[in-house]
Amino acid sequence: MASRLKNATIIPIYLPAGYITRKWDRIEKDLAVYLKGPVKELIRNWLYLTVTGWRNKPFFRSTFTFYGGSFMSIYVYPVGGFNRMKWVYISRGVAGHQIYARRAPYLIYQQGYRARTQPGGRWGISGGGLYYGPVVKGRTSVWWPGIEARDFEGFIVNKIHKQVVLGVKTIIVKAVLK
């Protein structure tokens, strides 16, 4: 394929001065429609796929922000009280810490846990994960190892990045060629 590129004829295309600037309003409008519509739905579909088997599922909302010609963003986020916090704790993780007994004579928990919902692996399987390892008891306090971050958002961004960039490029090319 590299040999074909060496023999290819390159035809430069010169656009008149200010051509892209005159098309910028159209590009902004089309990008806003693309982000509010297909990109938002794509992200929400991936998020709902992640929580398919969860008993207490969060809902997802979105906000679109346009900062006047230089920056646009779509922010999709979980809502729903405890369900939202469950998403945040599982996706971002929780650092291990000491837990102190307050209302019970003993603190008891099983040390190991293997989650069913994992980015890049099994998603939406109903039921909880698998507990394993020794049972830890403490009269006054125990060390809780925390929750390992699963970074669902990072996984989804990596999955859809190329598709979204291709869509943005297509919008720009279409707007310039009109």
Residue 160 lies in a domain: yes
User: What is the percent of the chain with per-residue pLDDT over 70, rounded to a whole number?
Assistant: 80
User: Does residue 3 belong to any structural domain of this protein?
Assistant: no
**Has residue 140 got a pLDDT over 90?**
no
CB 74 within 8 A of CB 39: yes
In a domain, 135, yes or no: yes
State the Cα–Cα distance between residues 174 and 26, nearest whole angstrom.
Answer: 10
Can you give the pLDDT at residue 1? Answer: 47
Give the per-residue pLDDT at 24.
80
Q: Which domain holds residue 80?
A: 18-177
Chain Cα centroid distance, residue 3: 41
pLDDT (tens digit per residue) in 82-94: 889 988 888 888 8
Q: With bands split at pLDDT 50, 70 and 90, how would you rate the model's confidence at 10?
A: low
Lowest mean pLDDT among 7-11, 105-109, 132-136, 167-171: 7-11
Q: For residue 62, what is the DSSP state?
A: E
- Asked if the structure places residue 6 within a domain, the reply is no
Average pLDDT value over all residues in the chain: 80
More confident residue, 166 or 114: 166
Contact between residue 167 and residue 34 where contact means Cβ atoms under 8 Å apart: yes
**19 pLDDT tier (thresholds 50, 70, 90):** low
- Is there a domain that residue 9 lies in? no
Note whether residue 110 is domain-resident.
yes
pTM (2 d.p.): 0.71
Question: Could you tell me if 170 and 123 are in contact, meaning their C-beta atoms sit under 8 angstroms apart?
Answer: no
Number of domains in the chain: 1
7 within domain boundaries: no
Q: In this structure, is residue 62 part of a structural domain?
A: yes
